[in-house]
């Protein structure tokens, strides 16, 4: 499953602690093949907004332990799916809320979950549900960013509170 919920550092920190999640990889998806970013885009290129890519995480999970619907519900409740091209202070298309589907069943499930979540929000949900076209692994220093940089300012001020709120809400789904 490939999801974009703003900064991939935040999204990765949420999903890596769930039972059934085997791997979370930060990367870029949904951009242009060629043009401004031929081949593998760099963080700098993606942050420029010219590549069309979103910061995303690729989640590998055991469906027998954690199903896709639960993953999508967690995704929809751990970021703000009502803000277009923005999460908090992070602004631009690279921070958009997006679900990339790889087949019709995933698309239908994503649409179902978005409909199910609508009553939880005062504003309309703007999360894109988009066909998967590409995924590029982000640079090594972006992987496990929160775990590797707990004293960094952004981690302390943005990611840590978000992770704590998540852990309190989804305690029963966390790895021990």
Spatial separation of the C-alpha atoms in residues 157 and 159, rounded to whole Å: 6
For the record, the structure tokens of 28 come out as 């870029």
- Structural domain tally of the chain? 1
- pLDDT of 78: 94
- Around Cβ 44, how many Cβ atoms within 10 Å? 8
Upper half-sphere CA count for residue 125 (Cβ side, 13 Å): 24
Domain that holds residue 17: 2-173
Residue 62 has pLDDT above 50, yes or no: yes
| 87-119 confidence digits (pLDDT tens) | 988 899 999 999 999 999 999 999 999 999 999
Residue 168 has pLDDT above 70, yes or no: yes
CATH code for position 92: 3.30.1060.10
Residue ranges of E strands in 6-138 = 21-29, 54-61, 86-87, 90-91, 97-101, 128-131, 135-137
| 126-165 confidence digits (pLDDT tens) | 999 999 998 999 999 999 999 999 999 999 999 999 999 9
Does pTM top 0.85 for this prediction? yes
Q: Which of 15-24, 140-149, 167-176 has the lowest mean pLDDT?
A: 167-176
* Phi, psi angles (nearest 5°) of residue 116: -60, -35
* Phi, psi angles (nearest 5°) of residue 101: -105, 150
Residue 81 has pLDDT above 50, yes or no: yes
- H helices of 34-149, in order, are 43-48, 68-77, 104-117, 145-148
Question: Which H or E run includes 163?
Answer: helix 160-169
| 26-52 confidence digits (pLDDT tens) | 999 999 865 455 578 899 999 998 889
Task: Report the catalytic residues.
Answer: 7
């Amino acid at each position: 499953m490939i999801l974009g919920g703003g900064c991939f550092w935040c999204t990765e920190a949420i999903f890596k602690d769930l039972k059934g999640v085997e791997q979370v990889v930060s990367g870029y998806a949904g951009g242009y093949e060629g043009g401004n970013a031929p081949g593998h885009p760099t963080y700098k290129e993606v942050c420029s907004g010219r590549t069309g890519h979103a910061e995303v995480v690729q989640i590998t999970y055991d469906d027998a332990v954690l199903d896709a619907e639960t993953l999508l519900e967690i995704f929809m409740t751990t970021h703000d799916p009502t803000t277009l091209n923005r999460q908090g202070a992070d602004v631009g298309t690279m921070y958009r809320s997006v679900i990339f589907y790889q087949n019709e069943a995933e698309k239908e499930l994503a649409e179902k979950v978005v409909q199910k979540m609508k009553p939880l929000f005062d504003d309309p949900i703007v999360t894109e549900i988009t066909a998967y076209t590409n995924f590029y692994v982000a640079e090594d220093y972006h992987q496990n960013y929160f775990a590797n940089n707990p004293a960094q300012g952004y981690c302390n001020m943005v990611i840590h509170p978000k992770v704590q709120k998540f852990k309190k809400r989804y305690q029963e789904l966390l790895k021990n």
